[in-house]
Structure 1
Amino acid sequence: MAETHDLTEFLSFAITLAQEAGKMIKDATENRMSGTGNQFLVKYDNPTDLVTETDQAVEKYIKKRLAETYPDHRFIGEETMAEGVDAVFTDEPTWIVDPIDGTTNFVHGHPFVAVSIGLTIGKEPVVGVVYCPLMNELFSAAKGHGAFLNQSIRLPFFQPTPPPLGDLSQCVVATEAGSDRSPEVIDKKIETIHTILKQKQHNGKEAHSIRCTGSAAINLCTVAKGVVDVYWEVGCWEWDVVAAIVIVRESGGIVVTGSHQPDPAPVNIFSRKYLAIRAAQDENSQLNVAQQMWDIIPEITAPRKAVPGGFEP
């Protein structure tokens, strides 16, 4: 179905829109640094899940611009959902947006902050733009057209052939603590990180190291760059990942389930469990590393309300 649409037109618009939203974020950051403006709130009575006035203003702006330009398209946004608006997922073109991925970073002035704008058609992610205005990095991709940094540098960085992808012990792995700090979730995540890092003679995988940026979208883009080998997270949302999933896939990477149950099929974007592997010479090596992760990923609950036409919990 996506082939009947001009994906390059949608991509061009999404890039412009992300740049406009990024300016709003950058201006708000400068205001915060000068001690003026921008209050933040706690969502869902969870002190680790924050939302700022800028999150809300940026999403409102993006939603308005999309409605004016593509009035027949659907919209799913983080702050819209937080206000209790039910999402309906159909085959129609649907923009899935996170106005600020890395809100905690934004609140603290840490630069790993991104606006994420993804488009699905026929329920498939086909266009993705992730813009990091504080670092001036713009990642973009459309299905069949490749992935790029700042519209000129083809991803992954290693061209024309990415380095071999061997054992998990040779990998850098990105993950996050997440906002769910309940013992049944955070204890399992920490134990998995422990297993990824500890020595093989102690039943570990002895990976090179762990990386955390505080942003699912940026973590995925580091996989698209090829500078991180694996990204695993449980508990983030479709608006955090849809745009970057397109970028990873167009860079030659794969994104599969981050559940404890192995499945080589493309990830269900509503599953809240994601595992990305960077580009390699062959898919078998990617799936080999994915299997090594599946071997140690525990069962972690990531509940959500049902999305009509989407994921059923």
Structure 2
Amino acid sequence: MTDATRRAAVAERAARAGGIVAKETFREPLTVETKTDKNDLVTAADRDAQQQVIATIQQEFPSDALVCEEDVTVPGADDVEIRKRVPETGPAWVVDPIDGTANYVRGIRFWGTSVAAVVDCEPVGVATYLPAERDIYTAGPESVTCNDSAMSVSDRSDPETFATGLIGWWALKHGDPYTDLFEAAAGRFGDVRRFGCLQGSLALVAAGGLDAGFMPRTPHPWDAIAGVHLIRRAGGTATDVHGDRWHHDSEGLVVSNGEAHDEVLAAVREGTSVEAAD
């Protein structure tokens, strides 16, 4: 087994383990806290799931860097640092214990646990597990799958038939620009949806359920690295809002099946006044 194959297997195992922990309290009474604003939510389930993900990873890779959404202590390893940025060199694990916490606390099934194994800033194995939906999306050196079946992006080429996703988040004060973006997309595509779970939405693009997705703001690495890798491995395209190849600190994120990516970029530019790269 190669190192990349091993890391991909651990990513899947860790995502499943964290998702199982989170599912134990799904639709149970919860104490909900806020972080940066009243709509940025966190629960004990987020922290418990992250601890389980980390514990699973550290069974195999105890010295690797950890890039995680939540600030939690690691049982038995209090000196472990939780980072917020992906290191440029060496191995690291990028973890979102519950992507879609707002859905989770409302009893909406579309939420998931996402784990990406990266080496020198490039993903080598990822998994996004949606326990309540009973779906797991994985990508490793040999395969890209949904529930162990090979998957690929859609083959639609007519933008007017596209189902697209407005992904990511926004604060209330940024409402007007997002209204412009929605209107620009609605005028070009057959459907515009928002699911409230960024990694889940990216997985839908990889599996062909959505044809494209877009956000003008830079996502956190734990919100996007796994999903972008799924899309690329499934044959799709991921760029920043200027059309350049997406990197984890790029401006915005635009993903598609690759058949009409320029049209998706055009909608984002129209809705946000973003200019194309030279």
TM interval, short-chain normalised: 0.7 to 0.9
Identity of aligned residues (%): 20
Q: 2:34 aligns with which of 23, 33, 42?
A: 42
Contact 2:195/2:201, CA 8 A, preserved across alignment: yes
Contact 1:11/1:127, CA 8 A, preserved across alignment: yes
CA distance in 1, matches of 2:115, 2:190: 32
CA distance in 2, matches of 1:99, 1:70: 18
1:91 alignment partner AA: T
CA distance in 2, matches of 1:263, 1:21: 34
Q: SS in structure 1 opposite 2:262?
A: helix
Q: SS in structure 2 opposite 1:127?
A: strand
Contact 1:125/1:245, CA 8 A, preserved across alignment: no
Contact 1:171/1:209, CA 8 A, preserved across alignment: yes
1:154 alignment partner AA: A
1:58 alignment partner AA: A
Q: SS in structure 2 opposite 1:214?
A: coil
Most deviating of 84-93 and 55-64: 84-93
Deviation at 1:130, TM superposition (A): 0.2
Deviation at 1:87, TM superposition (A): 3.8
Q: 2:244 aligns with which of 264, 269, 276?
A: 264
Runs of 4 or more off by more than 3 Å in structure 1? 83-88
Determine the structure 2 residue equivalent to 1:172. Answer: 163
Q: 2:53 aligns with which of 51, 62, 68?
A: 62
CA distance in 2, matches of 1:5, 1:179: 40
Contact 1:177/1:189, CA 8 A, preserved across alignment: no
1:228 aligns with 2:210: yes
Deviation at 1:272, TM superposition (A): 5.7
Determine the structure 2 residue equivalent to 1:245. Answer: 228
Deviation at 1:174, TM superposition (A): 0.2
Contact 1:48/1:179, CA 8 A, preserved across alignment: no
Q: 1:213 aligns with which of 195, 200, 208?
A: 195
Deviation at 1:131, TM superposition (A): 0.1
Show structure 2 runs of 5+ residues with no match: 73-80
Give the structure-1-normalised TM-score.
0.78
Q: Using a 3 Å threshold, how does the CA distance of structure 1 residues 178 and 255 change in structure 2: closer, same or farther?
A: same
Determine the structure 2 residue equivalent to 1:72. Answer: 63
CA distance in 2, matches of 1:179, 1:291: 19
CA distance in 2, matches of 1:141, 1:177: 22
1:13 aligns with 2:10: yes
Contact 1:114/1:217, CA 8 A, preserved across alignment: yes
